[in-house]
Structure formats: C-alpha cells, structure tokens
A and B are shown apart, each in its own frame.
Chain A
Amino acid sequence: MEKTDDELISEYQAGNANALNILIEKYTRPIYIFTYRMTGSSGEAEDITQETFVKIWRSLPKYKMTNTFRSLLFTIARNTALDHLRKKKMAVFSDFEDAEGNNFLTETLSDPETLPETLIEKAEQTKSLNKSLLQLSPEDREILLLHYEEDMTFETIGKVLNKPLNTVKSRHRRALAKLREQFENNPQ
C-alpha cells in the first residue's frame, strides 16, 4: 500500500533517507511541468525544480504533519519561479495589486465570464495551449495550471498562493478571459 506524504516525511525524520528519494521521485515530474509552463524554458524549469526540492528539504524539520506537503511544495515552486521571472525583469502582475487582491489593471476587462468549452474550441483551433499560456502573466498562468493541470481545488490554490478563496475565484475568471483573448489574437 502506497504511503502518504506525511508517512514518508515521518520516516525521513526518523532517519530513513530513502523516504525522501521516494517523495522526490513522486513529485519531480509534476513540479517540472508546472515550472516549465510558468517559465517556458526547459533550462529554467530544471533549475527551479532542483531549487524547489532543496528548499523543501530545508523546511522538513519544521514541517507539521497536516497533510499539506503537496500545497507547500507547489507554493515553494511557484515562489521560486516568480523569483526567477522577476530576476529576468518580467513585470509581475501582482505588483499592481492592493492588499485585498484587487488589481486595477484588470478593472477594464470585459466579459469576465467565459465558459471553458468555448475556450476548448479556440484551443483546438490554435493547437497551442502552451503558447497562449506563456503569453499570460505568471499570476494568471499559475491559477490555470494549478486548477486544470494539478487538479487543485480553489481552496487548496488559496493556500498555495496565500490568497482568500474569492480572490482565487475572481482571478481564475479573469485568467480564463485573458486566455480567450490570446486565442482570439492568435488565430490559426
């Protein structure tokens, strides 16, 4: 029977080094895919993946067994990816946010309600979801990746991003709207 993340961490803390290797093996692929989608670069995704696991190892002694390892891992991956993007001097969307998560740049967005299936039609036409994702800001990208690729609920995404649930939902709607814009701007 497969062990849970908390069980593996307990074993590692008790001195079983192999338990950490099992955790690394389990999450290397999803973390790499997430960071690749965030940065668009294979080299950067490799670096960020490695950094993420080093950071998670450092945080293991303080980790409390609350079944939140996956959220913590993606939080670290996300923050590390954003740091890399900042260093490349890509404007971070959240720089324009106030304390409540409202972003004045998105106030003029029209039609925030976009049914996902209309996007599917567009995506199939463009056949390049990845290209369109990369044209979004990192904050929009991460919401879509965490929800549609990693199957995280909005509550879990809120923990990863340290944002209230309503903010996550409204960002999700805006991200979908922007994705639709990208599809419309990039007809096949």
Chain B
Amino acid sequence: MYKTTRIEKGNMTLKNLFKQENEINIPKNLYQQVVFCVEQAIEKKKRQDQIVWGGLFLASLGIFVASAIHTTLVITRSSFGNYFSLIFTDSATALTLWKQIILSLIESLPFIEICIVLTSVAVVLWSIRNFSKSSPLFITHTNASLA
C-alpha cells in the first residue's frame, strides 16, 4: 500500500512536470491557419462534388433525351400504337376483346427502353439534388443555414 501511494504520488508529480514543461510557444495564428486549411478542404470537396454531380447530370440528361426519342419512335413503329388507338376509335370492339388487347399492349410495350427512360429521369433528379447541395448558386435549406 505504501508503494502504491508512492507510485500514485510519483505519477501526479510526473504529470505536473509534463504540464510545467508546457511552456511550448504556440504559433500565434495557428488556430486561424487550421480553420483556413479546413475551409480550403471544404471548398475543394465542394468543387469536386460539383464536377462529379454536374457531369453526371449532363450525361444522364443526354441519355434521357436520346432514350425518350428512341422510345417514342419504337412505340410509334410497333403495334402498340395501333392497339392503343383502337380503344378510342372502336371502343365497342375494344371492350369485347379487352383481354386480348391488354395482352397485346403488354407484349408490344418496349419495356427495356421505358426502363432506361425512367432510370435516366431518376439519375437526372438525383444528380441535380446533389449538385444543388454543393453549389452556392442554388439556395437550399442546407446552403442557407451555412451562409
């Protein structure tokens, strides 16, 4: 117990010695330098995010336009348009053969092209949302509170 007390006392004295030796001169502007570095890192990340999300937005917008045009052409050239227009031109026949018409509509629908269109719309919206978070040009809830 005596040795433990001696060790505890010694530890406290060693701690005090370490803290006394704390006459290290801290550079005057160190805090400002650190804040500046962190702010630079934040700005750099924002620029990187803008490039990534801006690029993704443009690419997905291009894909959306191209796929929308292609899908429209596919639909008009396929029998989907004919079956669909039958509902409006000869509704009595359409009502009688509704099962066959629905199956034909489903068969002739260009699923892959429609999926591509919908996916590109989702990517456009997602990328523009992330771009707006990093860009001061857009006033969002987050940007407004950081300003």
Q: What does the 1/0 interface line of B1-41 toward A look like (CB < 8 Å)?
A: 00000110111011101110110111100110111011001
Report if B96 contacts A (CB, 8 A).
no
Taking the closest CB of chain A, its distance from the CB of B17, in whole angstroms, is 6
A42 touching B21 by the CB < 8 A rule? no
Known A15-B142, A149-B22: A25·B31 in contact at CB below 8 Å: yes
Taking the closest CB of chain A, its distance from the CB of B104, in whole angstroms, is 51
Q: How many residues of B contact A (CB 8 A)?
A: 30
Taking the closest CB of chain A, its distance from the CB of B12, in whole angstroms, is 9
Report if A104 contacts B (CB, 8 A).
no
For the complex, what is the distance from the CA of A82 to the CA of B4, rounded to whole Å? 34
Give the contact stretch, choosing among A52-60, A68-76, A90-98: A52-60
A24 touching B10 by the CB < 8 A rule? no
Q: Which residue of A lies closest to B7 (CB)?
A: A115
Q: Which residue of B lies closest to A50 (CB)?
A: B37
Known A117-B10, A120-B10, A148-B14: A32·B145 in contact at CB below 8 Å: no
For the complex, what is the distance from the CA of A42 to the CA of B41, rounded to whole Å? 23
Please pick, from A32, A54, A57, A129, the residue contacting B21 in the complex, using a CB distance under 8 A: A129
B17 touching A123 by the CB < 8 A rule? yes
B6 touching A50 by the CB < 8 A rule? no
A29 touching B34 by the CB < 8 A rule? no
Interface residues on A, range: 35 or more
Report if A46 contacts B (CB, 8 A).
yes
A124-145 residues at the B interface, CB under 8 angstroms: 124, 129-130, 144-145
Report if B52 contacts A (CB, 8 A).
no
Report if B42 contacts A (CB, 8 A).
yes
Q: Which residue of B lies closest to A49 (CB)?
A: B34
Please pick, from A21, A25, A46, the residue contacting B27 in the complex, using a CB distance under 8 A: A46
A129 touching B17 by the CB < 8 A rule? yes
A-chain residues with CB within 8 Å of residue B19 when the two chains form the complex: 149
For the complex, what is the distance from the CA of A145 to the CA of B14, rounded to whole Å? 11
Q: Which residue of B lies closest to A27 (CB)?
A: B34
For the complex, what is the distance from the CA of A50 to the CA of B19, rounded to whole Å? 23
Q: Which residue of B lies closest to A33 (CB)?
A: B24
Interface contacts beyond A116-B14, A148-B17, A151-B15: sample of 8 additional A-B pairs, CB < 8 Å, sorted by A? A32-B30, A37-B24, A42-B27, A115-B10, A117-B6, A120-B10, A148-B18, A149-B22
Interface residues of B (CB under 8 A from A): 6-7, 9-11, 13-15, 17-19, 21-22, 24-27, 30-31, 33-35, 37-38, 41-42, 141-142, 145-146
Interface residues of A (CB under 8 A from B): 15-17, 20-21, 24-25, 28-29, 32-33, 36-37, 42, 46, 49-51, 53-54, 57-58, 115-120, 123-124, 129-130, 144-145, 148-149, 151
Q: List 5 A-B contacts (CB under 8 A).
A: A28-B34, A49-B30, A58-B41, A145-B18, A149-B18
Report, nearest first, the 5 A-B pairs whose CB atoms are least far apart: A116-B10, A117-B10, A15-B145, A148-B18, A50-B37
